[in-house]
Amino acid sequence: MSGRYVRAFWLWLHRWLGFALGLPLLVVGLSGSILVFYPTLDRLLDSRIASVTGCEVLPPERILEGLQQQLPERIGSWRLEMPMEPGLPYNARFMNPVETRGAGFAPLLVWIQPCSGDVLRQGFWGQTLMTWIYNLHYQLLLGATGSNLVAWGGLVTLLLTLVGLWLWWPKAWWRGSSWRKALQWRQAAHPAVSSWQRHVLVGFYSLPLWLLLVITGVLLDAPGWYNSLANRVSPLPPYVMYHSVLYGSQPAMSATPVTAADAIRIAHQQFPQAELRWLETPADMLGVYQVRLYQDGEPGRRFPQTRLVIDQYSGKVLMRHDPFEDNAGATVQRWLHPLHSGEAFGLVGRWLVLLCGLLPVWMLWTGTQRWYIKRQARQRMQLRGQNAERH
């Protein structure tokens, strides 16, 4: 097969993959852009959870006490998340509410006034606007099936992107003049050329970030794919379920339980310079405290990987995880989410990810525009040919 027909095939594939993936990419891209700043948007849409100033913030253990008093029917594990900034509400999650049992991941979400401890708002995951958008982005509202579809769609998107790159690649790529010509915007009289330049130049300059978002998105939607690969090269630590045990194999019923304040103190003894981010209380008699802290140098504060598991009776540290001691496989794994959200690169990174989420809109528009202009041109040529035959 000649090079002309090979190129025509890949051009056809690129065009129709773009049309087929157009709507899903728009949904995933636009929802991803919204989620970059979802806590801020959430507060703008609901004045009840706006930031407060001029009052003394209650410590986490007081917030938990007030939460359990206000919602006494919620017996089980609470995960309390510290505010990202002073004055913002505490966020808490009741991990296994009966109302959403069997619905996959659907905890009860609670927003708590940081100075009074009052519950400001509550709702189940997927039933608030921002969590609904999260499910749309992550699963297309289709549960585990949606996660698989998004992951496979990401792989097809990689193919679409790489085919587009190959179609654009300068023929004489070893010459500097070819690259200068390919990467410069040139005034063009014909709209087909202008639309082509808008399509390929924006696509090329955004390519590194686009590939990063697609690849990390695939691995977050299908973590088993990454785990399988990493375990062949740099094995990940096994997942272990921990239980509180004081004597033998059963908890001592007469033992004085460790308080939330004790658990926080024990965590800071292990990591004195770290910032407390999450505190998860025991779910039952065999449950444990789980604490997450943020150390300087971790890629993100929202999902830190410095973790402790603490026996609720003895206060013994059952597990201590310092992410800076991870092997290569675990290190890459903990970077996936901060890279995908842009948090790893601070505010600038988050804005770049937001803009990159708009890229499918631009690429679909310019690609469709070029296809339509060329289609019209072919129709005009056919019409002229038919008119010439009649005369």
Those residues of the chain that have pLDDT short of 70 are 1-2, 173, 188-189, 246-255, 386-391
Q: How far apart are CA 301 and CA 275, in angstroms?
A: 9
For residue 266, which of 239, 294, 295, 289 has the smallest C-alpha distance? Answer: 289
pLDDT of residue 255: 60
Kindly list the distances between the CA atom of residue 36 and the CA atoms of 50, 96, 130, 139, 237, in Å, as whole numbers in the listed order: 18, 27, 11, 17, 30
Kindly list the distances between the CA atom of residue 110 and the CA atoms of 95, 201, 381, in Å, as whole numbers in the listed order: 11, 45, 64
pLDDT of residue 234: 93
Structural domains in the chain plus CATH codes? 17-36+137-231+352-374 (no CATH), 51-136 (3.10.450), 236-326 (3.10.450)
pLDDT of residue 328: 95
Q: How far apart are CA 339 and CA 219, in angstroms?
A: 12
pLDDT of residue 250: 52
Q: Which residue has the tokens 């070029």?
A: 370
pLDDT of residue 26: 96
pLDDT of residue 321: 96
pLDDT of residue 377: 76
Q: What is the pTM of this model?
A: 0.90
pLDDT of residue 102: 81
pLDDT in tens, 95-144: 889 999 888 889 999 999 999 999 999 999 999 999 999 999 999 999 99
pLDDT of residue 127: 93
pLDDT of residue 248: 46
Neighbours of 384 (CB within 10 A): 10
pLDDT of residue 375: 82
First to last CA, the chain: 38
pLDDT of residue 249: 46
pLDDT of residue 201: 92
